[in-house]
Amino acid sequence: MPVTLARLLNNRKLQLTLRGGNPAVEVRWADVSDQVDPTPHLGPGTMLLTTGLGLEETSAGWPHYVDRIVRAGVSALGFGVGLSHGRVPGDLLAAAERHGLSVVEIPPSTPFAAIVRAVADGLSCEERSEQDLALERHRALLRAAATPPAHRSLVAALADQLGAWVLLLSRNGDLLAGSPDDARRHAERIRLAVSQQRSWSAAAFDLGGTRVTVLPVGRAERPSGLLAVGRGEPPTAHERGVIDAAVALLSLDVARAADLLDSERRERAAVLTLVLSGRHEVAGQVAARLGLPLPEEPVRVAALIAEPELRGDLLEVLENDRSLQIVSALVAGDSGRRAVVVVPAVEGDIGVLQSALSSVAGSRGAVSDPVAMADLPRVWQRVATLADTLPPAAVQRLLTTRDVAELGLLAHVEATAARGWADALLAPLETEEARRIDLLGTVRTFLAHNGHAEASAAALGIHRRTLGYRLDRAQTALGRTFSDPGLRAEIWTALTVRDTPGEDEPA
């Protein structure tokens, strides 16, 4: 016989609070999931338990979330506060009211397992047997989550509970944990399969006779990893609930790790600010108190840029680079949305930074020559400006000042705009009358010979007076004289733009 929500609310040990809806609704099952879309394994009459980790407190996603779970037959939603949310989000409650979904608030002191147990107590013997198995699996996961390192313990426990192989991958595709030991051989195929999905949403697919279930770990807008579970037969609805519970626990572990990482990043950013402002002695004292080693002189400073949505990926790659860790490089984000690295000027230093850039699409950067710590403020502004203004030709390249200069001015100019400017400047030299006496060709030759009349006339095969006549006509058409070095530079630049093939033109 199903349990009513009122019965759970009357259970003083659970300390549940009705935040909206009908307490008389029946609860036939209890499942735990922090997925943004938990519906693949939910059945009619399910009470869904969540901490709301996947969505922010104010989010346009709550109406869609409620709509999905109501369509799946969820009769009540239990929302655990105190972890990712201090209260039940108002947008969630409003959406639940529109759909007639009952919502209860679960205090931090009440474990989800206690609610699952209370639901199980009201089920039939057959239902209770299956729920008892699910409950024991949840308890095993909770024990694993309390065994450091939590992420490895959880992966091992989940693999044991389901008789499956389980992999946990980072956002960058690195293998964080795998169970059993031979599960690692599937990692590369999972990376390839996920990349083909082009999505961090939940998915299921066949891989060499194995049914693979993949779920993102962490917040929906920026998952921190991916859990993959493989087995000959697909998981049952109850097993999917166990997998979701593991993801929820992993997400909480990741959330705690993310808070620690944010704190460490703020500390490194504070030290970087001191270094780049010339207070390197104070920076050394602060770094020592925080346990942050500083690189030995001489050093290089690099400013690395990525697309806004990939800046976190670039920073993660640099922070996790073993070579940079070994030489005590200072890696931090700055207020200009750059990733900044102060690294000792040792053999292979630029190669390490270049390798990091190559691993993040669309990234680029600039790096200084070796300098003393005291000279960093002087060179930093130049390096930062170079990085901010690098042209498209510099994508996934780490450039020095000399490299940027060798790219040339035109690499920094948008091609269509440059071609339009060149056409407008040269138009007076391309009228029908101007073409008859080849004014444009005459001016090009004159400039190519540095304004030497005799050499220009000889190259054109004309008399010096004819050359003078044509140049006078060109000056009249342009309204400026060739004694103006600015005009000479502009026309030569315009001719160079014309001579440079566009993207759709043959070289």
In the chain, the number of structural domains is 4
278: in domain = no
How many residues does the structure list for the chain? 507
Pairing of strands 165-170, 225-231: antiparallel
Last residue of some domain: 123, 155, 171? 123
What CATH number does the domain containing 173 carry?
A: 3.30.450.30
How far is the C-alpha of 11 from the C-alpha of 333, rounded, in Å?
50
Contact, 239 vs 182, CB < 8 A? Answer: no
Final residue belonging to a domain, choices 63, 88, 123: 123
Percentage of the chain lying above the pLDDT 70 cut: 86
**pLDDT one-digit tens code per residue, 389-424:** 776 666 767 877 565 444 445 455 566 777 788 888
Residue 272 is given by DSSP the state: H
Within 8 A by CB and 6+ apart from 459, the residues are 445, 448, 449
379 and 486 in a single domain? The answer is no
Q: What's residue 403's pLDDT?
A: 52
Is there a single domain that holds both residue 397 and residue 420? no
Phi, psi of 236 (to 5 degrees): -75, 175
Q: Domain with 426 in it: what CATH number?
A: 1.10.10.2840
Cα gap 340→332, rounded to integer Å: 5
Span 286-296, pLDDT tens digits: 989 888 889 99
SS3 123: coil
Domain span including residue 242: 147-256
249 and 315 housed in the same domain = no
Q: Which of 68-82, 120-134, 323-337 has the lowest mean pLDDT?
A: 120-134
Q: What are the residues whose beta carbons fall under 8 Å from the beta carbon of 84, sequence distance 6 or more?
A: 51, 52, 53, 255
What CATH number should be reported for the domain holding residue 110?
3.40.1390.20
> Is 91 contained in some domain?
yes
Same structural domain for residues 305 and 317? yes
What are the residues whose beta carbons fall under 8 Å from the beta carbon of 13, sequence distance 6 or more? 114
For residue 363, give the CATH number of its domain. Answer: 3.30.70
Please give the DSSP secondary-structure letter assigned to residue 167.
E
Give the DSSP per-residue string, 398-413: EE-HHHHHHH-GGGGS
Domain co-membership, 399 together with 420: no
- Strand-by-strand arrangement of the 203-207 sheet: 175-179, 165-170, 225-231, 210-217, 203-207
